[in-house]
Structure 1
């Protein structure tokens, strides 16, 4: 009997000595499950739940995967400065492959060393996007391609000039003839080739992707950041799905209405008062490699941006002369104070690092004479 009591006593001691799971172990156990078993994110009642995930294969028109030769042709045109009036500015001038297809400038420098008004977004992952540009004014990649060509502070050329120059280059004529059966190259053909190359540009697998695929573990900071991103910080109200974007438009309080840097955003396209100051939700994939941030490129420190979101973002107040101004901007109701701690911000930043893959270098193509 004494032996039985002693054995039970030893068992109880060993059980009491067994370490309780750490916070990291509990979170790891939770997030190593399939995503449909993850905790529900903190979402506004108006927001549908779209879980984070790995990007699917790129989408091409009619589901037709293009040949490598057609992608290469688009790549040549993407790097060809002869498409600009000065023959000095190419698509790649503002979208550098080794900078995740941005230029890491506040705003890009174009024709006559003029600066634009908005930060150059990455051209990675355009295949999944419904509309292009910060204000969504282009509904296809082909349409987007033609915008910078005609912009007087970017490539500053005319579409007729682009067509004439491409048709004058024997190497391009040969490629279009072989690949698209085109003897006379049109601007739509040129846009299609460049768009085909851009559709092929997909972010490399990030550490977070490898975690989802069961190939790597997130560390404690990254995992806490993931949980905060989905819950307390309310990030998934706008940054959701595999693209980390709802592909919608929101006013985050950075319209600078009536001041320097004023930009009315989506309103310039729709002329609807409710679109004042709304900009498209950028994808957060590779976000830590594409600084500076926001539509105006005025923010270069992620800690500062997360602090602003923690405080609910700016909410401009009407001045006396703006009392009856029907266009006065209103910051989105999705943005509320979350009171993130310094540790929270550090953890979310660590998670954002985990969804940011390093740039992949590509060889600059040889251009036809």
Structure 2
């Protein structure tokens, strides 16, 4: 991916065939919060993406249908409108595509988009709302996806202290936060992956948290592409709002921001490849060359954390 300088967030780009309107966003918000999109009628999109928790859920991994635990942490959807790939493994290319996949996942909502749409057709109020937005009351899966995606694009955060600083208000950050920003840009190497207005390179990296060959194995992007180079790689999340979305990493293994910074300070996870792999084993993930011990002192880590909390 192309490196970008830090900058205020631009408006969210929208596809030509799904322009937002207030009515469409309101419909999407209703669908996002409606547990009738799940087979049990008990799980909504908002069950794992709660507004009060930065549109994440505060759990290491989420649970879904019949209280089944997933294997991945629920990422915040507040910045989903700026992502080039959705899900930790990047399996969805658009928000419209992403919106329907949890409905059909047997461990999440365990339904199907078609069944969910059929259930909503029995609701006269929903039929009126869909007709007002889409011009008819058929309620099709494609309309569900478009409305939910329109709502998710509306979640882009408002200008914050960091945006005011980027806009020229130098006093918006205090001395410790400024020092943290300087370290973020330089010795800490954070901007190798967290750059640009959205503070993400929209790429995939192996941090050594794949548990290859063990019960908790998760090889991320490789499971989608089948490319050996993708083994153990996961999508770089945006750092916008990061202080509100603990725990961290694709598996929620790091409970706090200071733990994340310590993890990077020691050079990330460095599991060793076994001497002999079975012939049918997935490729052992290769260490990301960007992960190197940083040697930062405690006060420097505290400064970076102070800066991250302004985002």
Structure 2: gaps of 5 or more residues: none
Residue 64 of structure 1: how far off its partner (Å):
6.9
2:217 paired residue number: 262
Are the counterparts in 1 of residues 5 and 197 from structure 2 also a CA contact under 8 Å? yes
Are the counterparts in 2 of residues 307 and 340 from structure 1 also a CA contact under 8 Å? no
1:146-161 equivalences in 2 (<5 Å)? 146-161=100-115
1:57-72 equivalences in 2 (<5 Å)? 57-62=11-16, 65-72=19-26
Residue 203, structure 1, aligned to residue 151, structure 2: no
2:193 paired residue number: 238
| Distance in 2 of aligned mates of 1:148 and 1:264 | 20
2:233 paired residue number: 278
1:319 paired residue number: 274
Q: Normalising by the residue count of structure 1, what TM-score does the alignment of the two structures yield? A: 0.80
| Distance in 1 of aligned mates of 2:18 and 2:102 | 27
Residue 319 of structure 1: how far off its partner (Å):
2.4
Residue 341, structure 1, aligned to residue 297, structure 2: yes
The SS at the match of 1:322 is coil
The SS at the match of 1:61 is coil
Backbone CA RMSD of aligned residues: 1.7
| Distance in 2 of aligned mates of 1:64 and 1:48 | 27
Q: Residues 326 and 71 of structure 1: is their aligned pair in 2 closer, same or farther, counting only changes over 3 Å?
A: closer
Count matched residues: 309
1:179 to 120, 133, 148: 133
The SS at the match of 1:250 is strand
Are the counterparts in 2 of residues 315 and 330 from structure 1 also a CA contact under 8 Å? no
| 1:92-132 Cα deviation digits (max 9, x unpaired) | 11111111101111111211111111000011121111110
Larger Rg: 1
| Distance in 2 of aligned mates of 1:311 and 1:250 | 17
| Distance in 2 of aligned mates of 1:326 and 1:194 | 36
Residue 322 of structure 1: how far off its partner (Å):
3.1
| Distance in 2 of aligned mates of 1:63 and 1:170 | 26
Are the counterparts in 1 of residues 114 and 140 from structure 2 also a CA contact under 8 Å? no
Are the counterparts in 1 of residues 180 and 304 from structure 2 also a CA contact under 8 Å? yes
| Distance in 1 of aligned mates of 2:56 and 2:197 | 20
| Distance in 2 of aligned mates of 1:300 and 1:205 | 27
| Distance in 1 of aligned mates of 2:287 and 2:13 | 33
Are the counterparts in 1 of residues 18 and 150 from structure 2 also a CA contact under 8 Å? no
Residue 220, structure 1, aligned to residue 160, structure 2: no
